[in-house]
Amino acid sequence: MTHKLLLLAGDGIGPEIMAEVKALIDWMNAEGIGSFECEDGLVGGAAYDAEGVAVSDATMDKALASDAVLFGAVGGPKWDGVPYEVRPEAGLLRLRKDLGLFANLRPAICYPALADASSLKRDVVEGLDVLIVRELTGGVYFGEPKEIKDLGNGQKRAIDTQIYDTYEIERIVRVACDLARTRQKRVTSMEKRNVMKSGLLWNEVATRIAGEYPDITLDHVLADAGGMQLVRWPKQFDVIVTDNLFGDMLSDVAAMLTGSLGMLPSASLGAPDQATGRRKAMYEPVHGSAPDIAGTEVANPIAMFASFGMALRYSFGMISEADKLDQAIADVLDEGLRTRDILPRGGGNGLTEVGTKGMGQAIRER
Ligand code: NAI
Ligand code: MG
């Protein structure tokens, strides 16, 4: 089966790190390891400069027709003054919205070679592999009413509304259970049922949906206690599923367990296609366009490689290939190769500094 990939490199270091992954895809095609049909598109500032919008209708059509979108990063000081509706970030938001990407996946993986860069002790994080599944399109960030009211007595009232409907919880818990099947088959649902109605419904629906997966073990943990456990002993978790607000916080906390921003991939998934069962999907590094280092060939391409690895794993079912890519990343780190962002200040014993291309080449060779 041929997999259709739309490559949206974007701005800043986006094109530099995307080129390294594109070279891997070309090699895989040449070797007959999967079959990928790649198309390039413009997004962000690059699209604004060429087409006057952050993502054009034509590019959106290509995204909708693709099996997965690989996204680099968008933005930069060059576009600080452009109108709000066409600012680079608007391209990302439109892609998420029009593709219906309601599930945000953020793995926290700690490569043994980088365990000392974590904010926690080595034995707590070494070998860590947790996947946080965050609901992305509902909850308190979007619920109405959402306003600041003037109460007229020198007081104001700020109102945010947390709303979750059954179907929104059902579909995110299904994503978590589907993903757990490709991992250790354990899901931990986090909410605050002790003080929130949405937590009560979340808990009830999660229990029912997980019941459809006899091979999956589901646990419930209150989100505050979950945050504590995440920094106390994160290796107890496999897949964590949680709402938009708690997921935002817990995934940022988990990110700090792993070391560096240049290492973190992410995926956003939508509903399964009626005919093929395949979910709409976009894969991207967590970091931005890093304008401070763009054009200097020092950007770390690992988050982009690992994002492609997630596409192999979660969109294309190429689990052993994804494992090999993850292993290649771990191997080059074990061998001491470092881009500048993961090089300890003042260098380090047995470590070799490489640029974007050097790191890309080394990963492809492994
Ligand atoms: P950033 O993530 O681009 O950079 C933060 C710091 O991390 C910088 O010092 C940068 O050099 C470094 N860094 C980031 N990725 C790196 C990599 N792969 N290798 C080595 N070093 C790396 O965040 P910042 O500076 O806040 O934002 C820059 C621009 O990116 C802004 O226009 C922002 O709006 C945009 N942005 C875009 C995102 C996206 O496209 N998904 C996400 C976050 C920010
Ligand atoms: Mg956040």
Positive or negative torsion for Cα 345, 351, 115, 269? positive
Give, using CA atoms, the residue closest to atom 30 of ligand 1.
288
Residue 77 CA, closest ligand 1 atom number: 32
What are the structural domains, with CATH classification, of the chain? 1-106+259-366 (3.40.718.10), 129-256 (3.40.718.10)
- Residue showing tokens 């960030």: 141
- Residue showing tokens 């909708």: 64
The ligand minimizing its distance to the Cα of 289 is: 1
Give, using CA atoms, the residue closest to atom 6 of ligand 1.
290
The ligand minimizing its distance to the Cα of 288 is: 1
For residue 288, the CA-to-ligand 1 centroid distance in Å is: 3
Residue 235 carries which DSSP code?
Answer: G
Residue 285 CA, closest ligand 1 atom number: 41
List residues forming the annotated binding site for substrate. Answer: 96, 106, 134, 224
For residue 166, the CA-to-ligand 2 centroid distance in Å is: 25
User: Strand pairing partners for 268?
Assistant: 104, 282
Q: Is 34 within 8 Å of 28 (Cβ atoms)?
A: yes
The Cα angle at residue 112 between residues 111 and 115, in degrees rounded to 5: 90
List residues forming the annotated binding site. Answer: 76-89, 96, 106, 134, 224, 248, 252, 288-300
DSSP string, 42-102: --THHHHHHHSSSS-HHHHHHHHHSSEEEEEE---GGGTTS-GGGSHHHHHHHHHHHTT--
Q: What is the ipTM of this complex?
A: 0.97
Please identify every residue annotated as catalytic. 141, 192, 224, 248, 252
Separation between Cα atoms, residue 319 and residue 296, nearest integer Å = 34
The ligand minimizing its distance to the Cα of 287 is: 1
Residues 6+ apart with CB under 8 A from 365: none
Q: For ligand 1, say whether the CB of 261 is within 6 Å of any of its atoms.
A: yes
- Total Cβ atoms within 10 A of residue 85: 9
Q: What are the structure tokens assigned to 297, written together?
A: 């060939």
At 265, which helix (H) or strand (E)?
strand 265-272
The residue to mutate among 11, 261, 287, 298, having the most atoms of ligand 1 within 8 angstroms of its beta carbon, is 287
Say how far residue 207 (Cα) sits from the centre of its chain: 25
User: pLDDT tens track of the chain, all 366 residues?
Assistant: 899 999 999 999 999 999 999 999 999 999 999 999 999 999 999 999 999 999 999 999 999 999 999 999 999 999 999 998 899 999 998 999 899 999 999 999 888 888 877 778 888 988 899 999 999 999 999 899 999 999 999 999 999 999 999 999 999 999 999 999 989 999 999 999 999 999 999 999 999 999 999 999 999 999 999 999 999 999 999 999 999 999 999 998 888 887 677 889 999 999 988 888 889 999 999 999 999 999 999 999 999 999 999 999 999 999 999 999 999 999 999 999 999 988 887 777 889 999 999 999 999 999
Nearest to 266 by CA among 92, 108, 142: 108
Find the distance separating the first CA and the last CA of the chain, reported in whole Å: 25
Residue 44 CA, closest ligand 1 atom number: 40
